[in-house]
Amino acid sequence: MKTVSVSITRSHGFFRKLMVRAAKRSALALKSFAGWLTAYPTTDAKCKIFEGGKPPAGGSPDMALAGNLSTLAAQGRHVERGTCMGRAVAEAWKADLVGSGIAVSPKSGDKTLDALLTVPWKLFCECACVDGMPLWEWQAMMIGSLPPAGAGLSRFVLIPERIAQGLIPLALLPLEIEWLSEEAVASVPADHKFVRGIELDKFGRPQFYHLRNPETLDITSGERVPAAQIVHIFEKRRAQQSHGEPVLAPAIERIMQGDRLPRIELDAAVNSSAPSVAIKTQRALDIGDDDEDPTTDIPPGAVVRLLPGEDIATVPNSRPSQLIEPFISAMRGDVAAATRVNRQVLDRDYQRSTFMNSRMSNQDTDRLQASIKSAANRMLAGRIYEAAFPWLMMAIGRPMPADPRKLAQMMRYAVRPDARPYVDPVKDVASAVNAIAQNLSTYHIECAARGKDFDEIIAERKLENDALQAAGLPVPTVIKPSTQPQQKKADGEEIEDEEAAANA
């Protein structure tokens, strides 16, 4: 018996060691893409979101940020994929920054050359990616990566087969931000700094990108790609920053709370929807005995006789709570403020919107997104035109000039971002015309603010007017705001237009 006892004790210790090893391996597994989701919430002071559980002991803020990018990207993708507000923020960023596309117009100073360059450029934009995706869809995809992952990544590649199709061989290969290798795939020079897949020089400029397919298990394979072949867009918020922070990072906790709250209320409503009654009695019963169950199951249609001194009280169902809507509305306000999007796009409720508050909200959003819009115009449109310019010149049969100053002049272009639609076309146009009449703006400025080119509009309008006159049709005239039919206001509804209020 003693021998058996010792054998059991040793066996118990052996299995205990196995359990400890399994626990350690489970802790290491938290570094994986799915495992880091358990690190939520990111704003919890007790939560260690740095890889390995410890923040970096030294280094620049750029290196400190790189340590938890895997965590933030995993959580951001989870929120964007599985919650309504996360998806709404991502779609709002694509609509605000890209919409129908960021266009480029050649402005070399030679109208003949500009017209020649426009033809192959538009043909390239229609199938800019390796899979034939148009340039504007690629732009929306890159901007859509900013909220969950903090950056968009693509690579220039050459496809010789396109030459036989009458296309330039340059194409864009979209990549996930996880392609940036956390470890160097090749030797890094002593005067360079390596920060999570990006090799920087002493001035902090990217020189090479270390790429590795995250779907393969071969950690020895990778490629060191020159920075000239990479399109890496992110919002630069501080000096020498080489990686982007997810837009959803400060709002992840609020979004998850707002997602759990309706689920909890629905579960509570289901649990409390069953009819429940309580029997009140004046007798003192010992309900603390473990052997006695104070609950009674009554089948449907049963008749229960009450004893003297007993009464029935129903348990009211107060779920879902009527206070859930203002609570979720407050959360949406926090998410909209943190992610710099219009609050109305989170719930798509415009019933209480007026011209003035919609205009102010759009102007405020435009100011908050001005910096990233500038980066999107430069990286997602201008950078692509500069890379494709030699191929465009070859397509029109023009040689590249040897003089750098002349080349810079020929490569000049104008970027026209996609602009917001009119809130009220009559009022918006009237304000633009008044600004031009008072010498506070120009037609070019007002058209550029709407994502249009004034010169192209004038040329197209001339063609249209000539066609209308040739067909004997009248040219459309200006409709003044005063001739617009006035709609009657409902009782208690405010009248925004001062002129309409005076006339009323």
Instruction: Tell me the per-residue pLDDT of 163-206, one tens digit each, with 9 for 90 and over.
Output: 888 889 999 999 999 899 888 888 999 999 898 899 999 888 99
Model confidence at 248, in pLDDT bands (50, 70, 90)? very high
Whether 456 contacts 447, CB under 8 Å: no
Q: Kindly state the DSSP code that residue 129 receives in the 8-state scheme.
A: B
Enter the tokens of residue 338: 């943190």
- Residue that has been written with the tokens 């004790």 in this structure: 9
- Whether the CB-CB separation of 255 and 332 falls below 8 Å is answered with no
- Describe the strand order of the beta sheet including 152-158 as a list of residue ranges: 170-175, 152-158, 230-233
Residues 289-297, mean pLDDT to the nearest whole number: 59
Lowest mean pLDDT among 88-102, 259-273, 305-319, 330-344: 305-319
Which residues are within 8 A (CB) of 95 and not within 5 positions of it... i.e. 6 or more apart?
Answer: 345
Mean of pLDDT over the chain? 79
Q: How far is CA 354 from CA 209, 358, 428, 430, 485, in A?
A: 48, 6, 14, 18, 18
Residue 44 has pLDDT above 60, yes or no: no
The pLDDT of residue 23: 57
Residue 70 pLDDT level (bands cut at 50, 70, 90) = confident
Asked whether residue 299 carries a pLDDT value surpassing 90, the answer given is no
Q: State the average pLDDT over residues 310-339.
A: 81
Q: Which of 37, 31, 33 lies closest to 252 in space, CA to CA? A: 37
Least confidently predicted of 59-68, 213-222, 309-318, 399-408: 59-68
Of the listed ranges 279-293, 310-324, 401-415, the one predicted with least confidence: 279-293
Band of pLDDT at residue 292, cut at 50, 70 and 90: low
More reliable by pLDDT, 272 or 294? 272
Q: Is 347 helix (H, G, I), strand (E, B) or coil?
A: helix
pLDDT at res. 501: 45
pLDDT of residue 30: 43
Q: Are 50 and 68 in contact (CB under 8 A)?
A: yes
Residue type, 58: G
Q: Is the pLDDT of residue 51 over 50?
A: no
Reported confidence tier of residue 18, pLDDT bands at 50, 70, 90? low
Q: 128 phi and psi, to 5 degrees?
A: -75, -30
Q: How confident is the model at residue 260 (pLDDT cuts 50, 70, 90)?
A: confident
Q: What is the mean pLDDT of residues 473-491?
A: 61
Instruction: Look at residue 284 in the predicted model and tell me its pLDDT.
Output: 60
Calculate mean pLDDT across residues 316-340.
82
Q: Which of 101, 68, 113, 30 is nearest to 243 (CA)?
A: 68
Q: What percent of the chain has pLDDT over 70?
A: 76
Mean pLDDT, residues 356-384 taken together? 87
Q: Is the pLDDT higher at 99 or at 292?
A: 99
Which range of 23-27, 261-265, 306-310 scores highest in mean pLDDT? It is 261-265
Res 179: pLDDT: 92
pLDDT number for residue 475: 81
The pLDDT tens digits of the residues spanning 124-172 come to: 999 999 999 999 999 999 999 999 999 999 999 999 999 888 889 999 9
Q: Looking at 36-45, 116-125, 182-191, 233-242, which range is the least confident one?
A: 36-45
Q: Confidence band (pLDDT; 50, 70, 90) for 295? A: low
Which of 388-392, 422-426, 473-477 is modeled with the greatest confidence?
A: 388-392
